[in-house]
Amino acid sequence: MSNQLHTTSGKVIIAGAGPGDADLITVKLQQRLAEADVIIVDRLVNPEITDLYARPDALVLMTGKQGYHDGSVAQEDINKLLVGHARNGKTVLRLKGGDVAFFSNVLDELQSLQEAEIPFEIIPGITAASGASAYAGIPLTARGYAKAVQFITFNPCSFYSRDQWKAWATSTDTLVFYMAARNLEGLTELLLRHSKKPNTPLAVIEQATTEFQQVHITTVSNCAIDFADKKFSSPSLVIIGDVVKLHEQFNWYEASKAGSVFHELVTVK
């Protein structure tokens, strides 16, 4: 059924808010923020985005989810909020971290809207992998380093076949793991068990594109030792592959944050 049928006086906009830096949102999202009556926001969305661009009278509802923590808002309740406010004639903006198509519950929300005959619009955003790799100076498919990139989730509930792990371990593709920073030892043990080269570079990027970004570099075999008892801040992204070697050369973001200090040291001479 087309989402244009059986329209109500309200509608829902599902939009990606990007990986963290408020300046990385699209022009279209900025316009929709200024129009929305109700904004339903995920935990990973930078609050500056609604502070800067939402209408002062807009109703902003926080519906965060976080793995390993109680108190997350159930997806069913979020679906009801979307449908309920739209049926009341409101323009509803569903704001998700990153891009809506990457590892989000957008399908559940789309199905609920379609079943309720609520019109909707989807606005893409910069996904965490693109933001993290760009701000860490790690081109994911750099020529001569990788011909492809794979996006994968890994957490205690993940299950992949032995053949799948073998394919990842022997691939020369860049592997980007979402939701994996708390399970790095298990992740690297599985890759090594299935023939991953021990010296393959590995990066963990914490809170990418924000002022709190930190990049941690090791190898698949040294990961368990180098990051023993290390707790990474959420969100964190894991990049595995030869492209990680490029971080040291093209680490522009850390250099830009240190620029003012460097300038002071030079001018004091």
Selection from 69, 27, 66, 67 nearest residue 45 by Cα: 66
- Please tell me which residue in 21, 28, 37, 42 is annotated as part of the active site: 42
Distance CA(86)–CA(39), nearest Å, equals 11
Q: Could you tell me whether strands 174-178 and 236-240 are parallel, antiparallel, or unpaired per DSSP bridges? A: antiparallel
As beta bridge partners, residue 98 has 18
Distance CA(220)–CA(188), nearest Å, equals 6
Give Cβ neighbours of residue 125 (< 8 Å, ≥ 6 apart).
15, 16, 17, 18, 24, 25, 26, 29, 96, 98, 99, 100
SS3 content of the chain, % helix, strand, coil (to 5): 40, 20, 45
- Please tell me which residue in 11, 23, 37, 65 is annotated as part of the active site: 65
Cβ count near 141 (within 10 Å): 14
- Active site (annotated) includes residue 42: yes
Distance CA(147)–CA(140), nearest Å, equals 9
Active site residues: 42, 65
